[in-house]
Amino acid sequence: MPEVMQISKEQLGERLRQCLRDVDACIKAQNISNAKNKLAEARGLDPSNPYLGAFEARIIALESAPAPSTQYSSPREQAHITPNSPLPGTRTTFAEKIRQQVEVDTKFQTTADWRRMEATTLNAIDDVSVKGVKSTKDLGSELLKKYHQQIALDRKQLEAETEQLLDVERRRLQEEFNAMVRRQNDQARGIRTQVRKEMEQNFLRLLEQISKQYDRKMELLDIRVPETKPESLALYKKKLRTYYLNGVPTEENAKKLMELKELLELTFDEHLQIESDVREELYAFTLRKQMLLGEITFTSYAKIEELRQQYRITSEQSSRADSFIFSRLKRFDIKGRILLVESDQHHSEMVNNSLSDKNYEILTASSVQGAFEILNNQFIDMIISDVKFPESELDGFRFFSAVQEQFALRRIPFVIMSSINDSMVYRCAAQLGVDDILFKPVDVELLGSIIEGKLKRYRELAQV
């Protein structure tokens, strides 16, 4: 019956991971509706999962993002200048001058006509007086009527000519105004283009300067931005170890992990794989530490199960960790397990035989690569390494630095062996923080004393 329940839990975990994969894909495709549905399904499977809050925050940020809008780059572009805009004040002044000139010409013409009509009238009066045809009153009325008719005709003609001149002048002024507006717009467009170009160049120079300063500071701090996919995966795994040190991370740390995943351009499947490796690694490390302290024994099933729940270990991961438990059975019969990394076969056999006689279990490797294969699959209490290896291999000091970069290995005592006895080797070992250094041929009794003291100190530190 417990086995069936365990299998159903694993299936439930796989469904949860698939839901989280779908949520991540929907968010990248900006499909908010499907992302919400998948997130709700994941919450129904495991409401306590820390990644739910991280995805929910990303969905809210995507919903609240402002829609793109088109704006004018400057107030001048917003100005709307129409060809039918009112003409400047000089147009009214010109019309006034035309009207004044017309009035003067009309007055002059009227006076001339009046004088001409007076002469005509006098002649007509003389004719009337001579001939006696019409009376003076009738003649005056007729002449006055003709005078008004002539004045009206002259006024209409003058108004028509004036309106024609005004239309010509109005069109000329409108064309000049339109041309002036076009020149001003072209000039403003050119200035705006030049200013934008200068601003872009200044911005690019500023970005380049900031980038150089940032790279310089990162270099001084011995921090390097990952450039390849393996470097990104290694950095993400290192950050996961920090957040999973005490079990499942908090919701805030889960959000940070999701942000880092997006920044490093990792897929959710890659996240799940690295997370699984880190949880299994930390589970084994914690189990080993508590067994050293005596807090867990082989019969502490409840505590072991609690530790599995803390790191959410599956049955497959638990079966792999069982090999560690069985290896501990053998370890209680020996003083410790020592990794000997030595390319000299003769010297390696000599040290191996001497330490085996002192009840130590010795695992040997002839290269750095072989040493890491053992470290990744076995639990080691102490490392003894030569300084010099073949040219294609790392030297002993670089091997030590590589070990220190791994969280689960950094506290293992590390002793260097060297065939060169000079101050340079001492200084390098002291600067790196190597636990001790011995010179070949190694004094086996001294090596045994060093191993016993380092292991004692190591196990005392494991209790802290």
Task: Return the higher-pLDDT residue of 33 and 422.
Answer: 33
pLDDT at 85 exceeding the cut of 60:
no
Confidence of residue 253 (pLDDT cuts 50, 70, 90): confident
Confidence at residue 2, expressed as pLDDT on a 0 to 100 scale: 42
pLDDT in tens, 94-142: 556 666 665 665 665 666 665 666 566 556 555 545 555 456 667 778 8
The string of pLDDT tens digits covering residues 166-190 is 989 999 999 999 999 999 999 898 8
Q: Dihedral sign for Cα 204, 207, 211, 213, please.
A: positive
CA-to-CA separations, 75 to 71, 171, 188, in angstroms, rounded: 10, 29, 11
Looking at 87-91, 334-338, 389-393, 447-451, which range is the least confident one? Answer: 87-91
Q: Which two three-digit tokens encode residue 213?
A: 């300063």
Q: How far, in Å, CA of 99 to CA of 338, rounded?
A: 119
Q: Token pair 């069985």 is at which residue?
A: 326
pLDDT in tens, 394-418: 578 888 888 888 877 888 899 988 8
Q: Supply the pLDDT for residue 93.
A: 58
- pLDDT at 329 (0 to 100): 45
pLDDT tops 80 at residue 202: yes
222, pLDDT greater than 50: no
Q: How far apart are CA 381 and CA 244, in angstroms?
A: 24
% of residues, the chain, pLDDT over 90? 6
Work out the mean pLDDT of the chain and round it to a whole number.
Answer: 77
